[in-house]
Structures are given as C-alpha cells and as structure tokens.
Amino acid sequence: MSEARYVLAVIVLIGLPPGILLWLAIHPWARFWRRLGPVWTYTILGPPMLALMAGLFRVRGAILAIDLGTSVPLIALAVVTLAAAGAVAVKRRKHLTSGVLAGLPELSLERYPGRLLSEGIYGRIRHPRYVEVLLWALAYALFANYLAIYVLVALSVPVLYLVVVLEERELRDRFGQAYEDYCREVPRFFPRRR
C-alpha cells in the first residue's frame, strides 16, 4: 500500500504543476501561439515542461519527506472522490476530443475552428475539465496522504481559477456575445439546482 501511495504522490507532483503551467502559458497569449501553430507552440513549451517534470522527479524525496501514512477513511474518501471525477470525465468525454483537450482550437482556429459547447455537462457547468482535474488530484492526494501533495492541490485551486479566467477571456474573443449569454446562463463550476 505504501508503494502505491508513493507512486500516486509522484504522479501528482510531476504532472499537476507542469499541466497547469502549460495552460497558464497558452491562454493569456493564445493569439501569439496561434500565429506559430500547434507544432511550434508545443516545440517551444514542451521542453520547459519536461524539464520541470524531471526537476520535480529529481527532488521528489525532499518534497515528499512528510508521509502521513495509510489511512483507511481517507482511502474511502478518495474512492468517492474518484467516482465523482470519473462521472465528470465520462460526461465531459462525450463532448471533448483529444485534440480539444490538447488545446488545438486555441492554437489553430483554421484547422480546429471549434464551437461553443453548451450541451450535456456543458449545459450545467462551464468548466467540467478543470473540475475533473481538481477532483482527480484531490482523490490522489487523499489516497497518497503526503503533506506536500495536499499543499500542491490546495495551491492548484487559485492557479486553476486564474487559468479559467484567462480561458474565458480567450473564449469571449472567439465567440463574442454567444459566450457572454452562455456565461449568464451556466455557472462556472457548481451546477445550479434544478
């Protein structure tokens, strides 16, 4: 059990910060990256993200020094949180292709013009992908039970909120009034009661 907890802690440690930083690097400067296209964008941004992952992996021992041990109640809570993340993922996957998840519409409007998603789960919340990411990260943190991973997940919340704000600015540029109307109708993260 300890080894599985450690592996999940390492996955969150090396995966979450570069993933969020990649979104932060793309959304504020989407127009710039569009001029370069997806291949150049990922050619430029990929190596620093991989270097960050390698650096975090290299110092994982120091970062993950405080192991809070195996906790059956937290593992049970992790399973519930995983189920919630999985439910969001299943609903989100019906509408987002892997190309959309890779950010291709943000990087190449000509090849991937995209459309405003407002059906299914996107008719209930505007950002199920980010809700899903946080639920997965929280579930892994609960299962792993390392102090640094809890801190990392907690720090991810305001940073992901910033990513959302930047993404919404970019979506307003792309979809105009239709996105404004959508924002008035559909909440960001938590669905309204029906």
Condensed to tens digits (0 to 9), the pLDDT of residues 129-144 reads: 999 999 999 999 999 9
pLDDT tier at 112 (50, 70, 90 boundaries)? Answer: low
pLDDT, average across residues 87-92? 94
Domain 2-185 has CATH 3.40.50.1820: no
Q: How open is the CA angle 192-127-106, to the nearest 5 degrees? A: 150
User: For residue 138, how many other CB atoms are within 10 A of its CB?
Assistant: 23
Instruction: Determine the pLDDT at residue 113.
Output: 63
Contacts of 5 (CB under 8 A, 6+ apart): 67, 70, 143, 144, 145, 146
The dihedral region occupied by 65, where left means phi > 0, alpha psi between -120 and 50, and beta the remainder, is alpha
User: For residue 36, how many other CB atoms are within 10 A of its CB?
Assistant: 15
pLDDT tier at 94 (50, 70, 90 boundaries)? Answer: confident
Condensed to tens digits (0 to 9), the pLDDT of residues 114-128 reads: 678 888 999 999 999
Which residue matches tokens 């990411």? 133
pLDDT, average across residues 35-39? 89
Burial class of residue 192 in the structure, from the number of CB atoms within 10 Å of its CB (0-12 exposed, 13-18 middle, 19+ buried): exposed
3-state DSSP assignment of residue 146: strand
Condensed to tens digits (0 to 9), the pLDDT of residues 161-191 reads: 999 999 899 889 888 999 999 999 999 999 8
